[in-house]
Structure 1
């Protein structure tokens, strides 16, 4: 039996600043820590992770188009694009795989503009407010979905 297709881990704008930007909101873990956690969690189930963080929306859209037929599922923290990007939701349907949306902070306890997600209607699950551990939970849930 061949190994499963990898999980695509996507992180949107400013997440490259994890550990530096607003540690009172996002904690002290870095993006490297997040990728390591997701990779280790996926490896428990025999999955690899392909990771992309970008501050450029077009780069994320291109990555999603290129992922069609090459991934098992998507774990995404769209960051600010959660609340703004119709282009992102249009691109997220292209790979035709399960999606789990993750947010480090509890977006529903923050400013009102953060309460709406364009991504959530496409997601098989949404995890928010668990800090970077949310990425672990998202990977575990995604593996369950794609292994059924």
Structure 2
């Protein structure tokens, strides 16, 4: 069975509470539940990981490399726009990387328009709320095949 890692970044544990205009009212647990349901339908295994600590995220990416994960989906939140440390960790991976965002980062503040991960990601999905996650999982499965 193909193994996919979903990486949730900084402040994502506050989904459902923070800025419902941008992120809606869905919680991280509800997002993970929907991802697990779709993973079962697609006959893949998904592991979801969230942290507010950049070093922990970097270490989980290193672990994904050692575990030979088949694909990585990442919504790094604000780290997307400036974390060269996470970018360098992701660049170690040989598996496809799918970058996702709930909000349309290109229609928001100027600093959010740039992703330091874009050059190493297979693709980017943004602006579809929780559906961005589900589209990201479908894209990861397609990239594996």
Instruction: Give the structure-1-normalised TM-score.
Output: 0.94
Unaligned runs of 5+ residues in structure 2 are none
Which residue is equivalent to 2:26?
29
Equivalents in 2 of 1:95, 1:53: separation in Å? 19
The one of 121, 135, 139 aligned to 1:123? 121
Which residue is equivalent to 2:137?
139
The one of 60, 66, 70 aligned to 2:63? 66
Shift of residue 34 of structure 1?
A: 1.1
Check conservation: 1:69, 1:95, Cα contact below 8 A: no
Equivalents in 2 of 1:120, 1:41: separation in Å? 25
Equivalents in 2 of 1:95, 1:42: separation in Å? 21
Unaligned runs of 5+ residues in structure 1 are none
The one of 23, 31, 44 aligned to 1:47? 44
Equivalent residue of 2:92, what SS?
A: coil
Check conservation: 1:75, 1:139, Cα contact below 8 A: yes
Shift of residue 53 of structure 1?
A: 0.5
The Cα RMSD (Å) is: 0.9
Does residue 110 in structure 1 map to residue 132 in structure 2?
Answer: no
Map Cα deviations across residues 15-71 of structure 1 (whole Å, 9 max, x no partner).
Answer: 000000001110010001111111111211211111111000000000011111421
Does residue 11 in structure 1 map to residue 15 in structure 2?
Answer: no
Instruction: Give the structure-2-normalised TM-score.
Output: 0.96
Shift of residue 95 of structure 1?
A: 2.6
Aligned residues: 144
Which residue is equivalent to 1:89?
87
Following TM superposition, where does structure 1 have runs of at least 4 consecutive aligned residues deviating by more than 2 angstroms? none
